[in-house]
Structure 1
Amino acid sequence: MLKFLNKKQVNDGSQAVDRTLWIRLYRRVGEYWVYWLAGLILILLGSATQPAMAYLMKPLLDEGFLGAKDYYVWMIPTVIIILMLVRGITTFGGSYLMAWVANKVLLSLRRDMFKSLLLLPDNEFQKGDTGRLLNRFTVDATQVTAYATEVVTTIVKETTIIIGVFGMLLYLSWKLTLIILVVFPPAVLVGRYFARRLRKVNRQNIDVNADLTRIVKEGIEGQRVIKMHDGDAIETARFDKVNNTLRHHAMRMAIAEAAMSPLTQWIISFSVAAVIASALVQGSKGTLTVGDFIAFISALGQIFDPVKRLTNVAGKAQRMMMATESVFKLIDAPQESSSGSKKAKVTSESQIEFKEVSFRFPGAEQDTIQSLNLKVKAGEAIAFVGRSGSGKTTLVNMLPRFVEPTSGQLLLDGVLFNEYDLKSLRSNFALVGQHVFLFDGTLAENIAYGSSVDVSREQIMAALDAANLKSFVESLPNGLDTRVGENGAWLSGGQRQRIAIARALLKNAPILILDEATSALDNESEKLVQESLDVLMKGRTTFMIAHRLSTIQNADRILVLDEGKIIEEGTHEQLLQKGGLYASLALIAQKVE
């Protein structure tokens, strides 16, 4: 009994979710209700011509062939031509308007999805679920809108035809029509059974499609690693496994959809057989004419295709609902917390404070940052060093709120960071990370990216000069208008790093975050860039992370982190004299260099 109740509760919950999704989706469709309604009216007009074509069989056979009415010779062919012309015009107009509405809905859905994507918290992108995210834009959104209008169009059109044909059948012979009505409930039950199966398979199919997208993406981005390590067989095996699973699900869907129509039609065939037997009995008694019977059979024959399309639409509706659920899951995803309203403004008197700050990754057994306390005055250059995994990057990622502390407080001028407007807070930071990302645009667009005011080409060149990249850009045929390719594909690692530095220089924010900012530079370039950074850092608060200790020797304070705690603090010379972890790291770095 408990098992039954639980199953019923799950089904009720699923139906409630489906109902909500239907309402949300068709509320968007309803924004274009004028075009949608016009399309439906045209489709209804086209559908109405179908039973009219069947009815023409009665006067044609009962009176036309007997010559009772001579004008039938030209009237009936003319009516057929007019009906077909009306059907063609209304079908085209209805299909066009429905496609217009579908593409408008797709436009708005993708816009809302992308807006939500850009506002997802940073930890959502660290889950590595890019395949699913991409799949929602390319596959799910398209399926939603492709089926949204098609499902309704099919339901309205085929229901109209069925109602019209049934009306015609009742008019011709209500006795024969009752026989057909008895068989319809079993046909509906068969359709509902297959609809449930299709829903389950479609949900699995969406997950496997996301895996396929992810594997292909990894094959593209990791092609050099694959080639160097002879990994083509490994990647092919991974791809084949997912590809075969996808084929398996596709076949399950195909079997369910293919079986639904024959079974439904087979059930209906019983009513057709009964109709023929009853018609023969009525005909022998003279209560049914040949015209009545042929018109009835013609109309009955027109029911099969509409019923088939209505049963098939159940599968499309299930695919639509699965895709709709996936799309709205992204749109409704929790966004970065930006409840603060205060405007952050860093001055020469400002101070940043870490107060008993701790952080633990989800599922981790211990904290990455443990009850850390730190005060940084405006204009200070603070460097963090330590072994890999000691929490350096996590700590500086708290400043622009990419990472939120698990406990403790982060304050700017005595005000909690989350009380500031997020955009206002981040406007005070410039970041140069270890992994540089460039957009597929020109050099000028990448360097001036996000600037709130117009930036002159002279200012861009000045930033490039400071980053030791001016001569390289001037040597290019198109100079600043040179396109960098996808993520700067044709640039070297050092060039990408220096473009990021130029971008930070141009932003000219009061607080700098340099996370291995010179890691990809050779010694000569590092020296030139470091001189520019030294000038830029004057009067600005700077947080630096570096494994190459030569880049942080001039920092006002060097903090040595180990297991999320500050274990040493001081200048370069002071820490060397202590002979602790920093001195050990410096000795190792000296040997490597």
Structure 2
Amino acid sequence: MNQLSQYAKQYKGTQLLMTVIAILTGTSIIAQAYFIVKIVDEVFLNGSSFSSVLPLFGWLAVALIARAMLTFANGRSGAWMAAKVKKQIREQLLEKYARNPVQASLQGQSGRKVSVLMDAVDEVDSYFSKYIPQLILTAIIPLMIIITAFWFDWISGTVLLISAPFIPLFFIIIGIKTQKKSEEQLEQLSAFSGTFLDTLQGLTTLKLFGQAKKQRDTIEDSSLKFRDATLEVLKIAFISSLALEYISMLGVGLIALELGLRLIYFESVTFFTAFFVLVLAPEFYVAIRELGNAFHTGRGSIGAVKLIEEELTKDEDRVVWGKEKLEAGKPPHMTLNQTAFQYGEDGFMIGPLDAEFKPYENIALIGKSGSGKSTALNLLSGLIAPSSGQIMLNRKALSEYEEKSWFDQLSYISQQPFIFSGTLADNIAIGSKQQATREEIESAAEKAGLSPLIKDLQKGLDTPVGEGGRGLSGGEKQRLALARAFLKQPSVILFDEPTTGLDLKTEQILTASMEELSKRATVITVAHRLYTIRQADQILMLEDGKLKTRGDHTGLLKEPAYQQMVQGGAGHE
């Protein structure tokens, strides 16, 4: 629970409030017991009239109302603290993923990450909303009851004191078992979530290759394992609750037996004292028993926080940013200075690369599939940090510039631009640095060649599209991505050959739009089309992550590797 305790220390004020509430709750419990016993004693033993005990009923009502309000306040305080901690943990996870989105997308299943972000973080809730509030209550209320019991009758106080440790000892033993089972349950849930999401995303592919039934069996097996793990946790919970009830009942029974013998047989205690202690005894055991239930729930949070910590402490190549501002509206002078990147210790490595890109130049990256072209774009964009070397902008390292300042000047258009669930206008407006007007969105859409599509749609720009661009063709997605770039007006544009796989008409529309964008920016393109390569001011040919050769089209025709590529008519995709 060390990591959970670290989070809890940040909310000492809330815990102090809970301590005050616990003291007041203990006072209200003792007052409630006192007024109940006093009323019974006055009416049935002393023969007092009903009207004479009315003030006592009034004070009893005050004690009951106060206890109810304090219980509510304690629960609200715990829920508030839990919500704050969950928000903090989710922000830490999202910040980690955002710091290096490329690495985050490559490591592990998306479904597993979603499960950690949602389910595991929700599992932490019980520690702060139930365990800590109950721990504070149990640390104070039983102590107040024991002191009160000793004050009225030291023998009964001693019985309470001796019987009290049996409950915590029991739930500590059970809690250890619960933690292990809860960890297994969360592990099964993460595995199930990952498998299920991956299956949903690839359902069409599975059907086409006749693997749907096999994958269904895999999901069924995963869900059954999760079910069995959940039932194991519930079994322990039910058994522990039953055992705690037995121990509490035995404790109250001992107090009742001891008081009954002394009241009737030995006549060494008054009715008022005996009844008062007997009314307080269940409250004493309930407070300790509830801690047992909360402890059981809190132990389940440990498994969740372990998963979260594993995710947060994974090694990452963090992209570092500075505070320098990049001049807006003018493409920077870009230099690759011995720039290299490697995926893990034994993974693919690109570089070291040396190159210089002047403002407004058109650069083409070419090479076979897997040669490192897309990795080079990720490096240039600042999505991943170089393992060695530097990327220079205007003779300053990219890491010296402010993240927002750089991304405000950059557009990265991939082969599969992501389209969010929303309207066409909403998706285009993502490219705006500020709040875009309707006219600006319409103008960007027109420049990107989306006007014919928008005119054919009943709701035009307000037409909703599904997540991932469901309902749009590949060419329409690319035009939407270009509309974002027109709206943003970047000074550096990275293209991962967006025309690949498109029909001739759509390719011509996109090519014209790309040429329009390149008039105001430096353009770096992963090129597969011979036409695109010929138009480039500078061509960089990659092979197995290394810079094979570079130059313009005319100069590179003397290179055998480039000649072979030209004869093939494409950039080796």
TM-score normalised by length of structure 2: 0.86
Where structure 2 has 5 or more consecutive residues not aligned to the other structure, the ranges are none
Does the alignment pair 1:184 with 2:144?
A: no
The change in CA–CA distance for 1:577 and 1:47 in structure 2 (over 3 A counts) is same
The C-alpha deviation readout for 1:408-466, integer Å capped at 9, x for no partner, is 23222322222222322233322111111122233223223242245444443343333
TM alignment of 1:450-461, pairs within 5 A: 450-461=431-442
Matched, 1:175 2:168: no
Q: In structure 2, which of residues 36, 44, 49 is the aligned counterpart of residue 65 of structure 1?
A: 44
Shift of 1:501: 1.5
Aligned twin of 2:407: 426
2:338 corresponding residue in structure 1: 356
Structure 2 Cα separation of the partners of residues 203 and 151 of structure 1: 18
Change (3 A) 1:58 1:93: closer
Contact 1:497 1:520 in 2 (8 A): no
Offset at residue 495 of structure 1 (A): 0.4
- Equivalence for 1:343: 325
Show the 5 A alignment for 1:74-473: 75=54, 81=61, 83-92=63-72, 95=75, 99=79, 103=83, 110=90, 114=94, 117-120=97-100, 122-145=102-125, 147-267=127-247, 271-272=251-252, 274-275=254-255, 278-279=258-259, 281-282=261-262, 283-290=264-271, 292-323=273-304, 336-345=318-327, 350-364=332-346, 367-473=348-454
Matching residue's letter, 2:128: A
Q: What is the CA–CA distance in structure 2 between the aligned matches of 1:17 and 1:82, rounded to whole Å?
A: 41
Tell me whether 542-551 or 128-137 shows the greater mean CA deviation.
128-137
Aligned partners of 1:349 and 1:49: how far apart in 2? 72
Shift of 1:392: 0.8
Question: Secondary structure of 1:566's partner?
Answer: strand
Shift of 1:267: 4.7
2:502 alignment counterpart = 521
493, 512, 533: which one aligns with 1:552? 533
AA partner of residue 195 (structure 2): I
Instruction: Give distance in 1, aligned partners of 2:568 and 2:260.
Output: 102
Identify which range, 220-229 or 103-112, moves more after superposition: 103-112
**Equivalent-residue separation in structure 2 for 1:592 and 1:264 (angstroms):** 71
SS at match of 2:164: helix
Q: Percent identity over the alignment?
A: 24
Task: Supply the distance in 1 between the matched residues of 2:425 and 2:469 (Cα, whole angstroms).
Answer: 13
Cα gap change, 1:472/1:292 in structure 2, threshold over 3 Å: closer, same or farther?
same
CA shift digits 1:317-362 (9 cap, x unpaired): 2334554566677788879533423223388795322222222210
Aligned mates of 1:229, 1:511 — CA distance in 2: 41
Q: Verify: 1:476 aligned to 2:457, yes or no.
A: yes
Tell me by how many angstroms 1:527 deviates. 1.6
Greater mean deviation of Cα atoms: 560-569 or 263-272: 263-272
Aligned residues of 2:31 and 2:60 also touching (Cα < 8 A): no
User: 2:547 & 2:357 partners in 1: Cα distance?
Assistant: 14
Query: Shift of residue 93 of structure 1?
Result: 5.5
Secondary structure, aligned partner of 1:340: coil
SS in 1 for 2:217: helix
Question: Secondary structure at the residue paired with 1:258?
Answer: helix
Please report how far the alpha carbon of residue 108 of structure 1 lies from its aligned counterpart in structure 2 after TM superposition.
6.1
Q: Are 1:503 and 2:484 counterparts?
A: yes
Q: Go from structure 1 to structure 2 and tell me whether the alpha carbon gap of 1:204 and 1:178 turns closer, same or farther (over 3 Å shift).
A: same
- Counterpart CA distance in 1 for 2:488 and 2:409 is 9
CA distance in 1, matches of 2:49, 2:214: 79
Question: What is the alpha-carbon distance in structure 2 between the residues aligned to residue 454 and residue 300 of structure 1?
Answer: 65
Aligned partner of residue 190 in structure 1, secondary structure = helix
- Aligned partners of 1:574, 1:541: CA distance in 2, in Å? 21
1:22 alignment counterpart: 8
How far 1:500 moved relative to its partner? 0.6
Distance 1:499 1:321 in 2: 45
SS at match of 2:468: coil
- Secondary structure in 2 matching 1:513: strand
State the AA in 2 paired with 1:364: D
Secondary structure of 2:383's aligned partner: coil
Relative to structure 2, which stretch is displaced further, 513-522 or 404-413? 404-413
Q: Partners in 1 of 2:321 and 2:572 — Cα distance?
A: 48
SS at match of 2:324: coil
Moved more, 196-205 or 517-526: 196-205
**Partners of 1:439 and 1:488 within 8 A in 2:** yes
How far, CA to CA, are the matches of 1:81 and 1:532 in structure 2? 77
Shift of 1:543: 1.0
Distance 1:243 1:146, change over 3 A: same
TM-score, reference length from structure 1: 0.83
Work out the CA distance in 1 between the residues paired with 2:202 and 2:245: 51
CA apart distance, 1:400? 1.6
Q: Deviations over 1:53-73 (max 9, x none)?
A: 444565566553345433488
Q: Is the 8 A contact 1:467 1:501 kept in 2?
A: yes
Q: CA separation of 1:239/1:133 partners in 2, compared to 1, >3 Å: closer, same or farther? A: same
CA distance in 2, matches of 1:400, 1:462: 26
CA contact (8 A) 2:366 2:540 kept: yes
The runs of 5 or more residues in structure 1 that have no matched partner are: 1-14
Q: State whether residues 440 and 485 of structure 1, in contact with CA within 8 Å, keep that contact through their aligned partners in structure 2.
A: yes
**Pairing of 1:560-571 with structure 2 (within 5 A):** 560-571=541-552
Please report how far the alpha carbon of residue 520 of structure 1 lies from its aligned counterpart in structure 2 after TM superposition. 4.3
Distance in 2 (alpha carbons) for counterparts of 1:270 and 1:590: 84
**Contact in 1 for aligned 2:111/2:198 (Cα 8 Å):** no
Deviation digits for residues 452-509 of structure 1, max 9, x if unmatched? 2454444433433332221111222222222223222111111001111221233222
CA–CA distance in structure 1, aligned partners of residues 202 and 269 of structure 2: 76
SS at match of 1:342: coil
Query: How far off its partner does 1:91 sit?
Result: 4.1
Residues 78, 490 of structure 1: CA spacing in aligned structure 2 closer, same or farther, 3 A cutoff? same
CA distance in 2, matches of 1:327, 1:220: 25
